[in-house]
Structure 1
Amino acid sequence: MKWLTAARKATQRFLNSQRCRIHRGSSRHVFGASNALAWSKHDQMHSLSLYSGHFYSTSTVLNATESSQRFQDGKKIQNEVKKVDIEIISRETIKPSSPTPEHLRTYNFCIIDQYMYDIYTPLILFLPNTDKASVTDVLTKRSKHLKEALSKILTRFYPVAGKVKDNLRIECNDEGISYTEARVNETLQDFLDHPDDERVRGLIPESFFSIESLKGNCLLGIQVNIFKCGGIGLSTSVSHKIFDGHIYFMFMNAWAAAARGSPQIVSPSFVASKIFPTNPHLEYSVPSKLRTTKRLSTKRFVFDSTALALLKAQPVASASSANPPTRTEAISALIWKTAANAASKVRPFGPQSPHALLSMVNLRTRASPPFPKESIGNLVDAAGAICFPSEHLDLPTMMGEVRESIAKLNSDFIESLKGENGHETFNVILRKINQLADMIGEGDFVFSTSLLNSGVYELDFGWGKPIWFYMMNAGFARFLTLNDTLKGGGVEAIVTLAPDEMEIFECDPELLSYAIVNPSPLVFIR
């Protein structure tokens, strides 16, 4: 069995090294490498055409003035990334189906909401037209049905239909949420053949992915993108002032249940502000250093079940447990190690120069007793771990660092955060985060979030489940998102780095012995 494992890793290293050789020799233009996940006849025929001079870019450039111009052999290559041909059909505001009672007209944030970044997080579900409904029916019946169901659930999620008044509260005035309908001039299959991050961003509601304050603006923007085949890209931009990942999925479950007429009632709990009351005199905030408006590069790295088994066979150098690594621990540590190595190749790291991993952790299930799973708001905290790139970086040790950092967010720690007595603990936490930000150089960190085991692929609005789910970076300088794959128990890691770091990162031999770069999500439905 060892020879089979070695052969698999060697073969994958060779294929990816060829890809990187092409990558380096063509000024960052990447040939569409053949898909190692699913070699159907269609895949093989498609890959042959890629060696006849056609190429596409897998890099994401958030600076619009730069995105249309790249260089190869000293010449400009225009429109390297195919733009999304999209037509906005309508824009409207969806309000709750019944007014919010007067005594609920103010929603108080919890203290974590209070200091949470004032940003929108863009996410999107791709839903196929499984019953071959006409595009006209999708435009009229399905979209109308989505709006009606949305209006109903907003009566229960009433703060979402309000406006942020200040850092302490939402004014629940029922002004509603932004709802846009658009037509996309291509099929869903064509779009998902090579889903570049920049193209996916073309399906996000306008004005809902900026870094401007959301005060006075809608807390939620929705865009229903209807493809030529009748498939839908259901995109949402959610305010991080009230939505963490857990609440996003709860909201989408409630919407889906209402849309398919399910008797299941999903209602949020509003206890967060009672557990963690706000502090108008909070001394610290989260450091702005973690965010950026600079040019970024985002790519996807998919770990199939075989690769995960090999990765999880690594020991974890941790005193807290002898258990093998979880998917989150294993992949986060590998991505972190690779990112730290890449950073050390583009700028110097001294013996005391750290590189950090900040992992977002859901506190609901870690409290004793657990918080209600329907608790709305940001019931999360960041677990911090550091390494020193000037030293040898050992994967088992880094897995242990990830595990130890998360283990510290236990029930005793959460208890220390509760009530007004917890205000000082929060100040200490924020002070330490700011001290860490001062210690690390610009960009010497990875901000990580895991959406694994979310159940996203079980969402059903009445005409079929999603075939792909994707979360976009809201503007963090270095970012990692972990998502489940549709089938096969795999994991999709979406990584954002500076472009010069990404060039090194994506060709790392150890990473490529486990991960496949930018495969089409369609391989998971064949």
Structure 2
Amino acid sequence: MKVQILSRKLIAPSSPTPPNLKNLKISCFDQLAPPTYVPCVFYYPANGEDHGGNNVERSKKIEKSLAETLALFYPLGGRYIEGNLSIECSDEGAEYLEARVSGSLSQLLEREGFKTEMWSRLVPRVLQPENSPLVTIQINMFECGGVAIGTCVAHRIADAYTVGTFINTWAIACRIGIEKVHCRPSFPFGSLYPPKNIPAITSVDDLISVGAVKKVVRKSFVFKGETISRLKEIATAFDSNQLLKYQPTRVEVVTGLIWMVLIRVARAIHGHLRPSVFGLTVNMRGKTTLTMPEYACGNFINLVIAQFVPNDESKIELHDCVNRVHDAIRSAVEDCAKASSGDELFSLMIKKMREGDEAWRKSEIDAYMVNSWCRLPWYETDFGWGKPSWVHGVDAATSPGTVTLMDTEDGGGIEAFIGLDESSVLLFQQNLDVALTGN
């Protein structure tokens, strides 16, 4: 399957950024984000229309609506200035590429295994965001009439919530017009939580890769809604003396399941249960007492650390891991709610990152990391030719023990992208199959 780039240009915002908004300081939370991009691909199968002429009209609407959306999300049309810890909102624009792809989109939608090499060609790759466009878009048109939209947004100014909000707003503008968009994004975190002089610290996304040298196999596992409901029953009714006193969320159950399986795999490899930590990123919007505008964009996530230390037990069960995940998330949310200032909130984040950094560097501790992209409007991204049939992050699960969770198309299930050491893939599958039967 060949990807041929047909054109490359910059799309500037449709209206200039006001002079008083030309310079945007990043926040102390933005400082902790890795200097990488958040790449996603949205797949839209052909719907039977005349796609030869339709693609021309489609491209015009996409470009126009992108320019209008960049005017709303004005920092994304600028450039990051490392030395100033700021975004120069210069209206230079987003990079926009159009590509033609040989073959059928249905080939990529058959997810028997990660086709990561192909996926990486569907998004424009930028290594560092400094002095580069903060947003790059690649429109991939397949011979069959299907379309895949590859997006890359600089992590320095955007977390998953921000990326999802931006792309969904763009889709609405393309489908029904920018005047119908009621999302009015703001970028308040730089003024609410100014950048700080902080010592170098390993970023959240880099923690798990410390010492990783083995070949990584990326696997995708889909947990349907009915499967998750059954896992909830297993977790909450395992033992009458250890009955969970709450109803776990989908993310807690799937995270707990994956963690339990990884612990069992490590036991099979080493011959005994090993201590482990599981890091999770949590969106802090709506979880603090600090006032902020609706659609506040930027990086505003916290790191949650769940720990498992084996005692005399010979096995680990689902409810054990679900409980630990739930308690860690609840504790982190409670801490966020108690924070009376941005400084306190930032201190909590730094503390958790240092805890994770310390754990990840110990060879006797198994460390894992999960990023949840659930409950974000990925599958609502309708540009006017229907909702996507599949959405995924290109860089999901790049190191052993990393996990990215996304909603399934119907919204009831979860798709987990997991990075595994090549030697543990079969063990993981076998232990997962056993766990799904409730054993």
> Normalised by the size of structure 2, how large is the TM-score?
0.88
Residue aligned with 2:71, SS: coil
Q: Deviation of residue 512 (structure 1)?
A: 6.6
The yes-or-no answer on 1:215 pairing with 2:130 is yes
Q: Work out which of the two has the higher radius of gyration on C-alpha atoms and give 1 or 2.
A: 1
| Map of 1:45 onto structure 2 | none
- Once residues 225 and 350 of structure 2 are traced to their aligned partners in structure 1, the CA distance between those partners, rounded to angstroms, is 42
Render the CA deviation track for 1:371-424: whole Å, top value 9, x for unaligned: 434111111111111224785222101100000110012254355373345554
- Once residues 512 and 193 of structure 1 are traced to their aligned partners in structure 2, the CA distance between those partners, rounded to angstroms, is 25
The yes-or-no answer on 1:295 pairing with 2:211 is no
- Once residues 95 and 514 of structure 1 are traced to their aligned partners in structure 2, the CA distance between those partners, rounded to angstroms, is 53
- Once residues 471 and 480 of structure 1 are traced to their aligned partners in structure 2, the CA distance between those partners, rounded to angstroms, is 11
**What amino acid is aligned across from residue 506 of structure 1 in structure 2?**
Q
- Once residues 394 and 337 of structure 2 are traced to their aligned partners in structure 1, the CA distance between those partners, rounded to angstroms, is 29
| Map of 1:513 onto structure 2 | 436
**What amino acid is aligned across from residue 19 of structure 2 in structure 1?**
E
| Map of 1:398 onto structure 2 | 321
CA contact under 8 A between 1:447 and 1:478: conserved in structure 2?
yes
CA 338–238 in structure 1, closer or farther in 2 if over 3 Å, else same: same
Q: Deviation of residue 283 (structure 1)?
A: 5.9
- Once residues 106 and 246 of structure 1 are traced to their aligned partners in structure 2, the CA distance between those partners, rounded to angstroms, is 22
CA contact under 8 A between 1:312 and 1:325: conserved in structure 2?
yes
CA contact under 8 A between 2:171 and 2:383: conserved in structure 1?
yes
CA contact under 8 A between 2:139 and 2:149: conserved in structure 1?
yes
- Once residues 183 and 242 of structure 2 are traced to their aligned partners in structure 1, the CA distance between those partners, rounded to angstroms, is 40
CA 133–306 in structure 1, closer or farther in 2 if over 3 Å, else same: same
Structure-to-structure mapping, 1:58-97, within 5 angstroms: 84-97=1-14
- Once residues 280 and 262 of structure 2 are traced to their aligned partners in structure 1, the CA distance between those partners, rounded to angstroms, is 15
Q: Deviation of residue 488 (structure 1)?
A: 7.3
The yes-or-no answer on 1:248 pairing with 2:163 is yes
The yes-or-no answer on 1:363 pairing with 2:279 is no
The yes-or-no answer on 1:258 pairing with 2:167 is no
**What amino acid is aligned across from residue 232 of structure 2 in structure 1?**
K
CA 342–459 in structure 1, closer or farther in 2 if over 3 Å, else same: same
Q: Deviation of residue 184 (structure 1)?
A: 1.2
CA 257–507 in structure 1, closer or farther in 2 if over 3 Å, else same: same
- Once residues 108 and 145 of structure 2 are traced to their aligned partners in structure 1, the CA distance between those partners, rounded to angstroms, is 13
| Map of 1:312 onto structure 2 | 232
- Once residues 224 and 464 of structure 1 are traced to their aligned partners in structure 2, the CA distance between those partners, rounded to angstroms, is 16
- Once residues 380 and 344 of structure 1 are traced to their aligned partners in structure 2, the CA distance between those partners, rounded to angstroms, is 32
CA contact under 8 A between 2:261 and 2:435: conserved in structure 1?
no
Give 2:39's match in structure 1, choosing from 122, 132, 157: 122
Give 1:372's match in structure 2, choosing from 251, 270, 293: 293
**What amino acid is aligned across from residue 164 of structure 2 in structure 1?**
F
**What amino acid is aligned across from residue 35 of structure 2 in structure 1?**
D
CA 427–312 in structure 1, closer or farther in 2 if over 3 Å, else same: closer
CA contact under 8 A between 1:257 and 1:460: conserved in structure 2?
yes
- Once residues 455 and 281 of structure 1 are traced to their aligned partners in structure 2, the CA distance between those partners, rounded to angstroms, is 34
| Map of 1:383 onto structure 2 | 304
Structure-to-structure mapping, 1:198-209, within 5 angstroms: 198-208=116-126
| Map of 1:445 onto structure 2 | 367
The yes-or-no answer on 1:181 pairing with 2:104 is no
Give 1:109's match in structure 2, choosing from 26, 45, 50: 26
**What amino acid is aligned across from residue 280 of structure 2 in structure 1?**
S
| Map of 1:69 onto structure 2 | none
Which piece of structure 1 moves more, 335-344 or 244-253?
335-344
Structure-to-structure mapping, 1:3-82, within 5 angstroms: none
| Map of 1:20 onto structure 2 | none
The yes-or-no answer on 1:485 pairing with 2:408 is yes
Aligned Cα root-mean-square deviation (Å)? 2.8
CA 241–499 in structure 1, closer or farther in 2 if over 3 Å, else same: same
Give 1:269's match in structure 2, choosing from 179, 186, 191: 186
CA 223–346 in structure 1, closer or farther in 2 if over 3 Å, else same: farther
- Once residues 411 and 489 of structure 1 are traced to their aligned partners in structure 2, the CA distance between those partners, rounded to angstroms, is 27
CA contact under 8 A between 1:368 and 1:411: conserved in structure 2?
no
- Once residues 422 and 303 of structure 1 are traced to their aligned partners in structure 2, the CA distance between those partners, rounded to angstroms, is 34
The yes-or-no answer on 1:155 pairing with 2:77 is no
- Once residues 165 and 274 of structure 1 are traced to their aligned partners in structure 2, the CA distance between those partners, rounded to angstroms, is 17
| Map of 2:80 onto structure 1 | 164
> Normalised by the size of structure 1, how large is the TM-score?
0.74
Render the CA deviation track for 1:429-478: whole Å, top value 9, x for unaligned: 33323222233558x32211222222322221112111111123354443
CA contact under 8 A between 1:416 and 1:422: conserved in structure 2?
yes
Q: Deviation of residue 334 (structure 1)?
A: 0.7
Render the CA deviation track for 1:109-149: whole Å, top value 9, x for unaligned: 111110111111221111123252323421x1101210110
Render the CA deviation track for 1:217-276: whole Å, top value 9, x for unaligned: 222221111111211111112211122111111101210111013412322122222332
The yes-or-no answer on 1:454 pairing with 2:376 is yes
CA 200–428 in structure 1, closer or farther in 2 if over 3 Å, else same: same
Q: Deviation of residue 361 (structure 1)?
A: 0.5
CA 457–509 in structure 1, closer or farther in 2 if over 3 Å, else same: closer
Residue aligned with 1:91, SS: strand
Give 2:387's match in structure 1, choosing from 427, 440, 465: 465
- Once residues 436 and 243 of structure 2 are traced to their aligned partners in structure 1, the CA distance between those partners, rounded to angstroms, is 28
CA 366–296 in structure 1, closer or farther in 2 if over 3 Å, else same: same
- Once residues 218 and 249 of structure 2 are traced to their aligned partners in structure 1, the CA distance between those partners, rounded to angstroms, is 24
Unaligned 5+ runs, structure 1: 1-83, 516-526
| Map of 1:197 onto structure 2 | 115
Count how many residue pairs are aligned between Structure 1 and Structure 2: 425
Give 2:57's match in structure 1, choosing from 141, 152, 169: 141
Identity %: 27
**What amino acid is aligned across from residue 460 of structure 1 in structure 2?**
D
CA contact under 8 A between 1:473 and 1:496: conserved in structure 2?
no
Q: Deviation of residue 154 (structure 1)?
A: 0.6
Residue aligned with 1:508, SS: helix
